[in-house]
Chains A and B, each alone.
Chain A
Amino acid sequence: MNSWFKSGSPWVWLSAGGVSISLISVLGLLWLIASRGLSYFWPADIYQFETVNEKGQAVTIIGEIYDRESLPTKQLSHLNLGLDPNKETIERILVKTGNRELVNLDFRWLLVPLINKTTKPEDLVVVERRTNGNFYGYVEGIILDGKPESLDKMDELVDRVDVFQDEMDELQKVDIGAINYQIERLRLKKRKHILDETLTAEREKEIDDQVASYNAEYQILETALLAIRDKVSRDQLVVRSMGGEVININFEQILKITYNNKLSVFGRASVFIQQIGSFLVDDPREANTEGGVFPAIFGTVLMVLLMTVIVSPLGVVAAIYLHEYAGKNALTKLLRIAVINLAGVPSIVYGVFGLGFFVYMVGGSLDQLFYAETLPSPTFGTPGVMWSALTLAILTLPVVIVSTEEGLSRIPSAMRHGSLALGATKAETLWRIILPIASPAIMTGIILAIARAAGEVAPLMLVGVVKMAPNLPLDGNFPFLHLDRKFMHLGFHIYDVGFQSPNVEAARPLVFATAFLLVTIIVSLNMTAVTIRNRLREKYRMLEH
């Protein structure tokens, strides 16, 4: 035993334990996020529980099981529920009952020993709604135009509502939105004339006429909108909740009606895919606790694209300088230290710098020079997508530089020497030979930069991300790309929904789902970058021989 100890073997195993713990944490984390995230989309069974409440009365609870927990019995002893004291632990389940307009809490804990009967009736339905969350209960009937109708028409009616809702959305967001935008631009044009003192009676009349014609257009659209709304509002679904109340839900509120318990495995799989699809494509509802994350995805992608446009040329040029042109002097050493430091500076300091310098200093000056007519309301003197892209460009600059430099260093010098010997200038060698070969490394760098930018939240909190952006930075109104608008970001969405939402229980699965999406994007970006880099290494190992 002693000799085994002396050989150092236990310490070797202990260090192997370090590796195992790291592996377990990484893979465990990924699996945790994946399972909790994906389970949000899988249509769950709806249960009906017969139990007793605190007053001892028999109640029926209908809902989905969200969570399970084991508690030491002693912690609940103060409730005097007549539990068996011999049992060490007691189990309880968290049930999502929905029906927010009928009950106080749409989540409640039930103690398992107190539940008398648990069933899964096939008629239980979950109705996904635009406001007030989900509804769980039984369908009693349909009212169409004031008259009862048969239940077969239900799917048809839901589809019909969808079509009308899309029409209304388009009218509101696209057409009426465009008119509002144009009227605002005319107001600013007039104000600019006033400030420049170039407002003649003629110009004023011209502007006023245009505004009047836009207002007339708006009236027409408004009538159309009201007509559609009218058509949808007369159809209702009659349902019965767990407490026995019968209520009518307007079809215009309903997004989807599903009989979860009736679904087969294939049915559930197809609902699963549908849910994932709507998660990626829909807008958020209910203060970000329901619906999809499309604006966040769009905002993240747009900001990352802008950042890439800014950081790639800068990073590549800096790397080329460091590798090809810099001599072995103090300036180069200083530059390398500068790159390392840029990589090590905390991201919040970048946020602070971006806020003070870009937003207030540069943005404020831009406003004074070019957008004086909108003042005191700032255009660029306020956080927005352009400043976020710039701030993150500086933050991810070192990543691109290091990666490009590594790629450049793998190119055997024989290639450079050969090209120069054949009469090419250094610039031509660089442009025609070195850069194309190094392009996978450059791409690796850019991919890693994108992965980093998709995950950074702290600086963005200061320079342009908001909880809810009413419109996207890219839309149909000139100049189409609005660089001064604020945007939503996946990482910030996770922070906001998890910690700043009014209904934490409802929000939690959505947070896991968004986290899963973000992790998937980032992990796949990183794996792509690593694969490219490894293939590159293999390729150049062969080139050198």
Chain B
Amino acid sequence: MAATAKLAALSDPTRRRVFELVLRRPSPVGRIASALPVSRPAVSQHLRVLLDAGLVTAERQGASRVYRADPRGLAELRGIRSGDMVVVRSRRGRIRLAALVTKRIRPLQVEGNTVHLVGLPLHWGFDGLTRPGHLVNTLTPFVGDPNVETPEFKAFLVDIQKA
């Protein structure tokens, strides 16, 4: 239901542009209006629709309201802090490991949906020179390039929860 509302909200091209401007930089109405060939009340109207669809949030700052795309990253939504143990699950298995939460990786907005990014480095093994750990390879799909006979499993879907 939320997805259709979001897609509907972005059906208007001007509204899409308003959303893109807000995505790039949290802004009050005035700044958005000055960047577009439409009037201030029109921009306000578009922002109202985006707000109702849950694509933007508004925050009071002094006399004006600043609009921004939902800034909350996955960590905040799931209550995960840096250093917490988490369980990462894919179709092929689950592993337990410690999380590093960073603002340097931001959620993507794809067709009105927020897509979060979870990075999994491969710096350890089950033997472990310092400490053993669950293998990240448990999660990866068995996809290969038959022409060069090399693995090709870099991106896949996961769920992440606090352990």
Q: Do A and B bind each other?
A: no
Interface, chain A (partner B; CB < 8 A): none
Interface, chain B (partner A; CB < 8 A): none
